[in-house]
Amino acid sequence: MSSTVDGHGIQSFEKPRYVIKRVLAKPQHEGDGAIVRRSIGGSELRNLDPFLMLDEFSVSAPAGFPDHPHRGFETVTYMLEGSFTHQDFAGHKGTIHAGDLQWMTAGRGIIHSEMPAAEGVQKGLQLWINLSSKDKMIEPRYQELQSKDVSRVDKDGVDVHVIAGEAFGVRSPVYTRTPTMYLDFTLRPGTQLHQKMPESWNAFVYVIEGEGIFGDSIASPVSSHYAIVLSSGDGLSVWNRSSELLRFVLVGGQPLNEPIVQYGPFVMNTQAEIEQTIEDYHYCRNGFENARHWQSQA
């Protein structure tokens, strides 16, 4: 990766990334009365290797995501507003608040619940990241990071929370089994950003608030609730030419280049593995043993 800075202080890349697809995440019902805006994982964008799903969720009690299983991938929950409590059949329980993060590796099997922990509307993003075939049956694990422990930089009108990967020379402490970049940017009006990225990774942007110009300074603006898929390249340029704040996440990951067979919350490489997973879940074995006697307190 390399980039240069011209005489006007503007950084350019040898192979800049551009917008190749826009997807509007429309509201839909999910879980028990929850509302999500699904961009990746919907009909317009089934997946973007290694990413399987991105939901922007909006939930008020008593709605939520009661007891449900996972196998074969990771879930990354990032709170934007309010609080959510997670509990699972391995005895793990925790509450994350605005700016907090939970990175859960479901691996060979987990059953958990995710429910609102405060009054009013709870908002956040949940990203599903695929695991390689060699990692799909590993033991589940968690990384939980409070907002105060998320690396943050504020420079030249750009504020960034470094959830995974690196920005402005600051790295996240989060370990990503599938190599991943996850950056939460806020650009003040009139500012611009030039962020390096590994050239071969797949990447997308999800706009949370405001509108911005991505990839090409003469491109049309992209507004909130849009996901944009980026071309390959060694960096992304962004401009906020509006009078409001622009907030978005930039997410990139190393493609696994493996077959994907998905059945709801189970993601494996073959149909036979999916059938085995359904059988394991039904008979509470091969990772789902604790399901036999467990029920959340939600």
DSSP codes, 150-185? SEEEEETTEEEEEEESEETTEE-----SS-EEEEEE
pLDDT at 107 (0 to 100): 97
- Alpha-carbon distance of 81 to 209, in angstroms, equals 13
pLDDT at 6 (0 to 100): 36
pLDDT at 11 (0 to 100): 58
Residue 257, amino acid: N
Closest by CA position to 73, among listed 276, 264, 243: 264
pLDDT at 64 (0 to 100): 95
Answer yes or no: are the C-beta atoms of 143 and 174 closer than 8 Å: yes
pLDDT at 3 (0 to 100): 40
Answer yes or no: are the C-beta atoms of 236 and 187 closer than 8 Å: no
For the chain, domains (ranges, CATH) are 10-292 (2.60.120.10)
Phi, psi of 11 (to 5 degrees): -85, 140
DSSP 16: B
- Alpha-carbon distance of 112 to 216, in angstroms, equals 42
pLDDT at 7 (0 to 100): 30
pLDDT at 295 (0 to 100): 86
pLDDT at 1 (0 to 100): 32
pLDDT at 184 (0 to 100): 98
pLDDT at 9 (0 to 100): 38
DSSP codes, 37-68? EESTTSSS---BTTEEEEEEEEEETT-BEEEE
pLDDT at 2 (0 to 100): 33
- Alpha-carbon distance of 153 to 94, in angstroms, equals 27
> Which stretches of the chain drop beneath a pLDDT of 50?
1-10
For 24-64, the pLDDT digits (tens) are 999 999 999 999 999 999 999 999 999 999 999 999 999 99
